[in-house]
Structure 1
Amino acid sequence: MAEQKPDGLDTNRIMVALQRVYLKDTSFEAPNSPQIFTGEWRPNVSLNLGSKTTELGDDQYECVLNLAVEAKQEDKIAFLVEIQQAGVFLLRGLEPADLQRALVTFCPQQLYPFAREAVSDFTSKGGFPALQLQPMNFEAIAAEAFRRQQAEQAAAGNDAGASREASH
């Protein structure tokens, strides 16, 4: 039989729930306004994306999704938007590997639509066409990061082996 807490919650049951979503930090800059509005709008847009998690206790975790979006018109910065979209997640009863996967894929995936909306709002309020970021597959992003990490570790291991051979 599952262990029961005094409040009646089943502590052995798997629970994955988004408890709260909030904007932790944000910045919008348009350093070359209003001059940037003259001429044809053909920006070069770059996106940097990352996430960080913090254990809060009682099976709760904060996940912060960091987005930095920069648009350049030729060699001038049109705008820079930085968003820290955060959420508190309840992740109970998961095996360690499943918990890690949830923290790097599920949690950021849930926050990304809120961050996309914030980027769109800030760019339109800054006088630019609303920027619609494309959907992201955080499973694929995590798999690619893992593959790169494995390749780097293998290369570092090969370099260490070669230097040991050279020193003998």
Structure 2
Amino acid sequence: MAEDNTPVFNIQRMYLKDLSLEQPNSPQILLEQQQPQVDINLGMAAEAVAEGIFEVTVTATVTTKVQDKVLFLVEAKQAGIFEIRNVPQEQMQGIVSIVCPQMIYPYLRAIVSDVCTRAGFPPILLTEVNFQAMFEAQQQAQAAEANGGSRIITGAN
């Protein structure tokens, strides 16, 4: 019987892996009338959990401050389990770093917005993210680091 080398890509599960909400300066800070500053950081991680099975996570950390005091902080980590088999190795990193996060991110956006609303604040709407551009920037940074951070300049003297 011949071995089946057909590429496989299946979503096994999407789930909320971690969620936290902190309001360290409540209730006093809620009396402030100033517009808060919002800082949003995104992170992405992937790891193999079994042969051909990968967990990919996208994390959003939203910190809102009034002056130098934290109004609220939300950290949400949305994850997905993906079956990826018989895919050429050179395509694997792109699938795990671009395709999978693009599938996870809408769930993360909804969770962050919902948690802010349930906490009594206006919803924070995370902007769309170009995971392809993020991946390419990361690849360029790694290549520059591998070259010792130096640039090769060619041309006539």
| TM-score normalised according to structure 1 size | 0.81
Match of 2:155 in 1: none
Partner of 2:9: 16
Residue in structure 1 matched with residue 136 of structure 2 by the alignment: 143
> If the length of structure 2 is used for normalisation, what is the TM-score?
0.86
Separation in 2, partners of 1:115, 1:21: 10
Root-mean-square deviation (CA), in Å?
1.9
The answer to whether residue 36 in structure 2 is matched with residue 40 in structure 1 is: no
1:30 equivalent in structure 2: 23
Structure index of larger Rg? 1
1:60 aligns with 2:53: yes
Which residue, out of 81, 84, 87, partners 1:88? 81
CA contact (8 A) 1:28 1:79 kept: yes
Q: How far did 1:55 drift? A: 1.1
Separation in 2 of the partners of 1:38 and 1:89? Answer: 45
What are the ranges of 5 or more consecutive residues in structure 1 without an aligned counterpart?
4-10, 159-168
Q: Could you tell me which of 85, 90, 110 is aligned with 1:117?
A: 110
- Give the percent of matched residue pairs that are identical in Structure 1 and Structure 2: 38
Tell me how far 1:56 sits from its aligned partner.
2.1
C-alpha separation in 1, matches of 2:132 and 2:138? 10
Runs of 4+ off more than 6 Å? none
| Matched residue type, 1:114 | Y
